[in-house]
Amino acid sequence: MSHYKHITPEEREKILLLFSHNYSITFIAESLGRNKSTISRELSRNSFDNDYSAVTAQAAYLERRKKCRPRKKLDDPVIFEKVREKFLDHQWSPEEISERLNLENAGFSVSYSTIYRGIYSGMFDSPDERRFHGNRGAIRKLRHRGKTRHTKSHDQKNAGNIFRKHKEKALQSDSSERLCLRSDSSGQIARNCFRLTLCIINLLMGKSLI
């Protein structure tokens, strides 16, 4: 594991100050707690006509760092346009696009996982996609098996709707049971009243005959 630390802008200012006063590389290295080869490489790499500038050295360092970083494949306009055409215009899946580029020997290759990352990060979203497919953009172009992929907030909202639906169904069933009980009780009361009326009529008729 490397413990090397890049020279900071403050250290470059100190190098400029000491180097302009004609101090040796050994003295500069000891003052900064650096190795002599580090100071020597810094001066030889960033000096122009035996003149060292801390600002110029820092700018050159940042430029070299940018070139050393791996470039994302979809940042290449040619690769991006090829993938965009297959995905949006022809509705190919990322797996099909990746395999097709390998078969065509196009001089470049893109893994399907890279294409998926680009889709979900919004790289292929255009104003038209936003307008026709809502906030999800070009993700709607993907082929989904089964249920549609939702966000956590959507799932929580949907769970609340399901709970409310179950509650409404339970209330409806409870109210219907109550109505049934009321109808049964009212029917029983009516039958009892009818029987009581018949008994009274029979009694009255019996008395009249006597």
Which has more pLDDT, 169 or 32?
32
Residue-wise pLDDT for 147-195, tens only, equals: 555 555 555 555 556 656 666 776 766 666 665 555 556 666 667 777 7
Entry pTM: 0.40
3-state secondary structure of 130: helix
Tell me, what's the pLDDT at 146?
47
Handedness of CA 93, 94, 95, 98 (dihedral sign): positive
Tell me, what's the pLDDT at 209?
44
Check if the beta carbon of residue 100 is closer than 8 Å to that of residue 92. Answer: yes
Check if the beta carbon of residue 158 is closer than 8 Å to that of residue 133. Answer: no
Residue-wise pLDDT for 61-109, tens only, equals: 888 887 777 777 888 888 888 888 888 888 888 898 888 888 887 778 8
Tell me, what's the pLDDT at 1?
46
Residue 124 pLDDT exceeds 60:
yes
Tell me, what's the pLDDT at 34?
93
| Cα dihedral 34/37/43/49 (nearest 10) | 160
Kindly report the average pLDDT of the chain as a whole number.
77
CA distance 142 to 145: 10
Q: How much is the average pLDDT of 22-49?
A: 91
Tell me, what's the pLDDT at 104?
80
Check if the beta carbon of residue 43 is closer than 8 Å to that of residue 15. Answer: yes
Residue whose structure tokens are 């413990």: 3
Tell me, what's the pLDDT at 75?
80
Question: Cβ-count burial of 52 within 10 angstroms (0-12 exposed, 13-18 middle, 19+ buried)?
Answer: middle
Residue whose structure tokens are 């009980």: 181
CA 189 to chain centre: 65
